[in-house]
Every structure is written in C-alpha cells, then in structure tokens.
Structure 1
C-alpha cells in the first residue's frame, strides 16, 4: 500500500514539474501541439484553448523550429483566460490579437522584441488606467524617436475598464494611424486623455463610440492633423460638437445613435468641414427634424445616410444650401452621390432639397409613411423614375408606397408613375371630402326611399287603409250624430 502511494506521489510530482514555467527548470511545451500552427500561412491560432498564461521563451523555440524562422504573420490568442501579458521573445509577428481574455496587467516592455508588429488588439479585457502606462509600448532605442514601436499602426483598447488615459501613453507609437477606444465608459474626456490623443501625430482613424461622452475638448482634435475618420456613435451629445471643426481633413464622420433632436436652423449645425465626404446620422431615436442650413458647411459631401430614425419627420428644402440671393449669391451645392433616407418617419420631401436629383447614383427612400397628395406629385413623376433607372434592385422603387390618406394606402409610387396617376391636394382646413362619398350616397338613398314611404303612409292614413281595417269615422260623422233637422211647421209656430 505504501509502495502504491509512493508511485502516485512521484507521478503527480512529475506532471507538476512539466507544468511549471521556465524559471523553475521546466521541460518546454510544444506550442504546435496545443495550438494550430499553419507553417505555410505563418499563422499561429491559439484561440479558445483555455490558456491562462502566455508561453515562455523556450516554448516559442518549438514554433521557430517548426517554421524554420521567427516569422509569424498572425498570432491569435482570442477567447482565453490570460490575465498577464508577459514580454514576448524576438519574433517576426505582424498581427497580434489578445481579444476577449481577462488581461489586467501588461508588463513593462511587453512588446519590446516585436519590432515588426503592425497591428495589436487588446480589446474586451480588464485593462485600467493603472495597467496602461507609457512603458508598456516601449521599444528599441532610436536616434530620432523615443524608443518607438516604430511599425505599430493599428491599436485597439476597446471594451476595457478605462476611464482616462495617461498623457504619455502613446509616446512610443509615433506612426500609429488607427486607435479604437470605443466601449470604455469615460463619460468625461479629461485633459490627460485629450492630451494623449492629441499627441499622436499621424492618427487617421479614431473611434470614440459608446464612451458616454457629452462633449469633446477642443485640444483632442487639435493635434492629429491627418485625421480622416471619426466615429462618435452612441455618445450623449445633445448638439453637434463644434470642436470637430478642428479636424479640417476629416473625410468620414459617423454620429449614429446620439440623442440630438434638431439639426440646423436655430439649433446647432455642422461646422465648416471642407473635406468631409461621408456622413451617417442613423438610429437616432430622438431626431425629429433637419432644419435650414444643417449641411451648408459641408461642400464636399458625397454620401449621406439618415436611416432608421423613428421620429425623423421633416427635412427642410434648404438643408443643403441657402438659395437666398441676398445672403449667398452663389449657392454651393454638395456633389452628392448617395442619399439614404431609408426607414424614417418622412411623409413629404421637397424637390428643392437638391439641385439635380438625376446626378445622384443611389437614392433610397423606402419604408417611410409617404403622403399621397399633390405636394409629392413630383416624386411620382420624376423621382421614382430616376430611382428605377439608377438602381439594379427593383425594390428600391417598388417599396416606395403611400401611407395616407387611407384611400391611397399601400399604392406603389412606381405603379402610379406608370399609370400617370395625379394626386389631389389636401383641403386647406384639413377636411377630407373624398371620405364624404358614403355619407352622401346614404343620404341620397334615404331621401329616395323615405319620401315615397312617407307620402304613402300619409295617403293610407287619410284614406283609412282602403277599408282593410274597417271604416274609420271622420270628425264630421261625430258631429252629425247629434244633429236633428228642424221641421217646417215648428219653424212657423208662434
């Protein structure tokens, strides 16, 4: 019995020794037996392998031996339980993904030896401000830059527990072009965070979506003069942030799902963005109207998407340009190529909204409660034929239908266009005489039936029902019953 227990203890001890790390004189692990090593594609897939720590230097030697080099184009550690990112050995990794782990700490110089690293994904972990300090991204010495990771151009810190950023966090990333900070509950973009973002000189894409921001400090966008794409989706802006005017080279702006009610007119409007080509204002549950001059400061606008805004019911005819000669002699119309007004609450749209509808390559106005009245006649006669000719998808024109008045509900604009149907104008006082037809018919039938029946009833009443119910004495008959004729001799008697 003692011998059996001794064997079991030795066996357990041997398994433990194989499992410990390099500092405890451990036998190295064969990574390619744990993960999927694609030598041909230079791809190491360690996703969903229940790993709780990264491999040590000796473990990586097995991959290098199998690959006959340290070149690994892509390394994936997604969906594991890794908590600490230790320093990687010298590897020729270009893309490293550590998404959906439990990372709460990154060691100093963790990526120091990954000199060719271009893309790093640390999203959906438990990183805090304390874990994200400048020495995390420290690289090799360079005479021109401050110990840079010189090739890193894409970084995602999305979905962590960050509430602020160290102002020097990106000092070692001089060539960073894309930064994703979305789904971190900042609420307030403080001076340190604004300074950190502003310090990235070549930043081109910035994602600040779903960060509960109410405003953007002016200094945030002052530094990255090459910024082209800005995503502000899902924040708490109640008006257009004026500080985006500093992003003079911005090409694409996404402001979906923000609680703005009105844009333009007497409300906030977009500042001057001379190079902005793409704008998205979708899934805005509170948006009601786009007023005059809302887009007049966007002279390069080519693609506008305003879709799935359940309360968006009005777009001003002068939303894109103000044609008032006294104010602006030369109207500057944007070179719009795509206009998406899909699935809103629009009932009318003015022909004057754009100068040339036939110049637009893509128009989508489906699934709006369109009013079939004379003010939308131009849509039937002009706009729908344009959509039909431009689009390869038949539903783009066929699904444009009447919602009201009730007599026209469900009728297709395409069908009315083919049949050259003319739509009547609504009554000035909002009355609907077209709905009076059944009432008038009912009155007419009532008169045609009621008058003869009434006359017949009177006739029958006067004639005593033609003797059907017996003789009905007249008032005169009652008078004669008590009358007696006087005899002649009684009249002459004195």
Structure 2
C-alpha cells in the first residue's frame, strides 16, 4: 500500500517539479526586471552598453542606484523615462546622440549625485535643464557643442563639487555662484578674460583654463580663490608672466605651457614656493633663473621641453639640481639645447658641467707669489635670430666674450674684401658654414637635414638616442592602486594598472572612509573604466583615508584592492628665503 501511494505521489509531482525548483531559486536569477541587452546587479546597478537603441530601456527597477547607458545610440530623453527612480544616484548618458535636454527632464531624480552627459551633441542648456536635482555633486558636460548656457541654469545646485565644460563652443559664462565647487574645467572654449563676478567659487581647488584665449589673469579673481591648488592656463595668449599669480601662495600645480612669454624672471616665482609641479614648456625660453632652486624648494616635477635653450654657463646648474633633488624632468628627450652649435640638439640634462663652457680657474702657488689664471671658453660668434641664424642673448651680468682673433693678413688686407672665418663645428651633420656680408653665420645643410645649424636629422631608428646603459634592471611590481600628490583636501589616485589587469570591467567603484575622524562611514563613488586617474576631493586635512577599488557589479569583493592614503596638513604658505639656499625636498 505504501509503495502504491509512493508511486502515485511521484506521478503527481513530476509535472510540478520544474515549478517547485523555480520557487526555490534565489530572487533575481531569472528576473524579468533587467532590460534587454543589459546586465543587472540584483542589488543596485544596471549596465547597458552599445544597445543601439534611440530610446532609454523601459521597466527599470525602482531600487536602481546606478544606471549606465553610455554608447547606446540614445537620441532623446523625456521626463517619463525616469519615473520611479527616486533612489538613483549615478546616471551615465555619455557618448550618445543627445542634441538637447528638455526642461525638468531630471526633476524626479531627487537623489541624483552624479550626472554624466559628456560626448553628446548638445547645443544649449536651458534654465530648467537641471531643475530639481539639488543633491547633484558632479556634472559632466564636456565634449558637446554647447554654445549657450542660460544665466539661471545652475541656480539651486549648491552641492556641486565638480563641473566640467571643456571642449564646447562657449564664448560667455553664466555667473557661477557655487560655494562648494572644488573643480572647474573650462578648457578649449573662448574666454579671453574672466573676472571675480564670473566665478564666485571661494573653495575652488582646481581651475583649468587651457586654450581659452586668455590675454591676462584678473588680480581680483585670483585674490578670491584662496584655496586654489591646481591651475592650468596653458595654450593661451599670455605674453608675460601673470602678476596675479603672486596672489596664489597655496598653488601646488601650475601649467603655463604654450604661451608666448619668452622670459621668466626670478620675481615671477617669488610667492610660489609651495609648488610641487611646474610646466613651462614651449615658452620660447633661452634660459632659466639661477634662483629657481631657492624659489621652488618643494618642486618634484618639472617640464621645460620645446624651449630653445642656450646651453651656456648660466644653465650649468640645472642638471646637477635635477639629479641631486630627485626632481622628475618630464619629456626629457624634448628638452634640448639650441645653442651653441657644438651642443645644438643635445639633451640638456645629460650634459656635463664642462659642456656649458664655464670659465675654469687654475691656481699656481710659488715660493713668493700666488698666480690665478682664468681660461675663457672658445669664442662664439653672436648671430641674429632669423630663419637661417641664431642670436645669443647676452645678459648684462655675463662676462663679455673675447673678440674673434684677427687673421694674419688683417693689417694689410682691404677691409671690404676681408672674409672672417666660421668658428669650428658651427654646422652639424656635414653642413657647410657661410658668413653673410654682416658676418652672420648660415648653414647649408645636406639633403634631409634641417635646423638652423643642421642639428635635426630625419627620424629613423638609427637617429634614436642610444640607451645610456644596457645593464639589465629589475623593477618591482607596481601596485594596482596607488596615491600621490595629496593636498589638504584631495588625493590623486592612479588606476592605470588596476584597469590594465581587468580589461573586461565597465566601471570602478571607489569606496573611501576617514580613519582619523569620528565618522568612519564609507562613501561610494562610481567611475567609468576610462578614468585611469581620479582625484578624490572634499577630504579633511591631515587625515588618513582607507580607499578601495572594485569592479562595478562585483558583489563578492574578490577583486577589491585597498590602500591607505593621507591628506597633508593645512598650514599657511611659507615665504621663500632666496638669500639662503635650501635644496632639501
């Protein structure tokens, strides 16, 4: 009887078995809430990549906190697309085909903190484009075609920390009254002059103004930015060092590259002794102030590439200073001598002290007298700066160079027929030296050789510089996550290796907490995998932070990498002691 009942039960349960198994499986495994062609983390995140659809996916889970819709081909958005997403904190709509933002389109996203609209085709921003998103902290609008922004667009966005507008077509800027803003990127628009009424951002840490056509830097604006640590004014029309920079004593990073300045004087850097990174490449500089080591005692990274340096005695200090202080010279191969001809084309930091032609002093002691003789370097003909010759600028405090020796027949020769000679090695790489009627040197270069002194050879494997040493070196494995360039309120994170070792990830979750304060609750920030570097901002001074990186969507934590990093103390800027050299870093 029992066997018969058991058989009857088996027959009865067999059709129901698949349904019973479905009931026993965890929630979300076969969830219909995940949109087509998307990947869903059952807890918070939805990833939709390259869906090739002109509209947003429908039926989004209302518990979603992070929504990634980059490179989907989306052509338009409407307010109804976001109904019910009151928990959404991160919305990535970058690299789509959006041309405009309807009024109040994000109004229902009351928890939104990060909005990425970069690399679309948006042409203007209206007054109500961002109405309602009062919790927004990061707004990315770079690489669009924005020509106009309504003056009241950013009203109400008082919690904004980062605003990126670079790579648009803006010629004017609405007043930015943002008391919490830490980063403002306006690069590659057109703003010839910005004043204090344009930027009412007293806590701004990073201001990027490269390629905006600046002809000057407003003194009142710089005075209002007391917390500025990073300033990029490269690629502008600044013909002299901005005097207003003397009002930025807390500046740590300064980029002046690509401005037509031509000279750099010691007094220009007088109040910038906190700098740890300086880029003065492509300024048409012939030399550098010899007081640089005393003016910039904290410098760790220097870029002086693509300047026509005269490698004479007043630059002989540079290679030794870089080496002794462990300063990183960026773009070393592009930092070369332009003059004299014997050094033209050589990498400046690789020259020895004797290569700069400094006078050598020899002391001879006898029983009755002590004679000191000074040997001057080989005479160098001064030439004007034209398309065929180089002029050597002579400072008033330099020793005058001795005149060229007269030829044996100079006393009897006709002055009009006298032909002075070229100094040895005036033309390089087989070039032929000639002197014009004014006595200026010109070089006739062989085929494929260019340059004022024939110093530039055609690019080929044979012309590449030989490595200085062929000895094998062992390099320790670099950490996948590292920090550097800490300020009192920010830390720069290097994520290059973390991303390289995980080419499959679509984004990175950063989790950080302050180990030095009473509130150790973790903060989370989601980044796209296209960010190999990211600066955490809004931190507390003199604090230790625990920072962890993990792939977005990884619920196991098996690929999480954690480090501890420290913000620097907040202290008043120190005054440089130019008369008392200090070389310690």
The question of whether the paired residues in 1 share the 8 Å contact of 2:302 and 2:327 is answered with no
- CA–CA distance in 2 between the matches of 1:416 and 1:335? 23
Structure with the largest fraction of strand? 2
Map residues 75-94 of structure 1 onto 2, 5 A cutoff. 75-87=68-80, 88-91=82-85, 92-94=87-89
1:340 corresponds to 2:302: yes
- CA–CA distance in 1 between the matches of 2:424 and 2:167? 59
Q: Which one of 216, 221, 237 corresponds to residue 239 of structure 1? A: 216
The question of whether the paired residues in 2 share the 8 Å contact of 1:240 and 1:269 is answered with yes
Could you give the per-residue CA deviations for residues 397-433 of structure 1, whole angstroms, max 9, x where no partner exists? Answer: 8997655433445667777649999745364357667
- CA–CA distance in 1 between the matches of 2:190 and 2:335? 36
Could you give the per-residue CA deviations for residues 164-217 of structure 1, whole angstroms, max 9, x where no partner exists? Answer: 33232223322111111222222233xxx12xx12x221111111111111113
Q: Report the 3-state secondary structure (helix = DSSP H, G, I; strand = E; otherwise coil) of the residue aligned with 1:175.
A: coil
Q: Report the 3-state secondary structure (helix = DSSP H, G, I; strand = E; otherwise coil) of the residue aligned with 1:215.
A: coil
The structure showing larger relative contact order (alpha-carbon pairs under 8 Å, at least 6 residues apart) is 2
- CA–CA distance in 1 between the matches of 2:237 and 2:358? 36
Could you give the per-residue CA deviations for residues 256-310 of structure 1, whole angstroms, max 9, x where no partner exists? Answer: 111222216xxx552412322211112x153422235223343533321223x16
| Equivalent in the alignment of 1:73 | 66
The question of whether the paired residues in 2 share the 8 Å contact of 1:290 and 1:319 is answered with no
1:240 shift after superposition: 2.7
1:220 shift after superposition: 1.7
Map residues 130-209 of structure 1 onto 2, 5 A cutoff. 131-134=125-128, 136-139=129-132, 149-189=133-173, 193-194=174-175, 197-198=176-177, 200-209=178-187
- CA–CA distance in 2 between the matches of 1:250 and 1:122? 26
Q: Report the 3-state secondary structure (helix = DSSP H, G, I; strand = E; otherwise coil) of the residue aligned with 1:244.
A: helix
The question of whether the paired residues in 2 share the 8 Å contact of 1:295 and 1:320 is answered with no
| Equivalent in the alignment of 1:405 | 340
Alpha carbons of structure 1 residues 118 and 216: separation in structure 2 relative to 1, 3 Å? same
1:435 shift after superposition: 6.3
- CA–CA distance in 2 between the matches of 1:232 and 1:252? 11
The question of whether the paired residues in 2 share the 8 Å contact of 1:82 and 1:101 is answered with yes
The question of whether the paired residues in 2 share the 8 Å contact of 1:54 and 1:82 is answered with no
The question of whether the paired residues in 2 share the 8 Å contact of 1:46 and 1:77 is answered with yes
Find the structure with the greater CA-based Rg. 1
Q: Which one of 97, 102, 105 corresponds to residue 97 of structure 2? A: 102
Q: Which one of 218, 221, 229 corresponds to residue 206 of structure 2? A: 229
The question of whether the paired residues in 2 share the 8 Å contact of 1:155 and 1:176 is answered with yes
Map residues 189-338 of structure 1 onto 2, 5 A cutoff. 189=173, 193-194=174-175, 197-198=176-177, 200-221=178-199, 223-242=200-219, 243-263=221-241, 268-282=243-257, 284=258, 286-307=260-281, 309=282, 311-317=284-290, 333-338=295-300
Alpha carbons of structure 1 residues 383 and 52: separation in structure 2 relative to 1, 3 Å? same
1:54 shift after superposition: 1.9
Structure with the largest fraction of helix? 1
The question of whether the paired residues in 2 share the 8 Å contact of 1:85 and 1:105 is answered with no
The question of whether the paired residues in 2 share the 8 Å contact of 1:226 and 1:249 is answered with yes
TM-score (norm: length of structure 2) = 0.50
1:99 shift after superposition: 1.6
The question of whether the paired residues in 2 share the 8 Å contact of 1:303 and 1:337 is answered with yes
| Equivalent in the alignment of 2:41 | 39
| Equivalent in the alignment of 1:378 | 317
Q: In structure 2, list runs of 5 or more residues that go unmatched.
A: 1-30, 360-376, 380-399, 406-420, 426-585
| Equivalent in the alignment of 1:490 | none
- CA–CA distance in 1 between the matches of 2:144 and 2:334? 43
| Equivalent in the alignment of 1:484 | none
| Equivalent in the alignment of 1:368 | none
Q: Aligned pairs, how many?
A: 340
Could you give the per-residue CA deviations for residues 25-51 of structure 1, whole angstroms, max 9, x where no partner exists? Answer: xxxx96746332132684423232221
| Equivalent in the alignment of 1:488 | none
Q: Report the 3-state secondary structure (helix = DSSP H, G, I; strand = E; otherwise coil) of the residue aligned with 2:89.
A: strand
1:75 shift after superposition: 1.9
Q: Report the 3-state secondary structure (helix = DSSP H, G, I; strand = E; otherwise coil) of the residue aligned with 1:245.
A: helix
Q: Report the 3-state secondary structure (helix = DSSP H, G, I; strand = E; otherwise coil) of the residue aligned with 1:240.
A: coil
TM-score (norm: length of structure 1) = 0.59
The question of whether the paired residues in 2 share the 8 Å contact of 1:288 and 1:314 is answered with no
The question of whether the paired residues in 2 share the 8 Å contact of 1:186 and 1:211 is answered with yes
The question of whether the paired residues in 2 share the 8 Å contact of 1:52 and 1:83 is answered with yes
Q: Report the 3-state secondary structure (helix = DSSP H, G, I; strand = E; otherwise coil) of the residue aligned with 2:122.
A: coil
The question of whether the paired residues in 2 share the 8 Å contact of 1:95 and 1:120 is answered with yes
1:253 shift after superposition: 0.6
Q: Report the 3-state secondary structure (helix = DSSP H, G, I; strand = E; otherwise coil) of the residue aligned with 1:263.
A: coil
The question of whether the paired residues in 1 share the 8 Å contact of 2:164 and 2:186 is answered with yes
Q: In structure 1, list runs of 5 or more residues that go unmatched.
A: 1-28, 140-148, 322-332, 349-370, 439-494
1:154 shift after superposition: 0.1
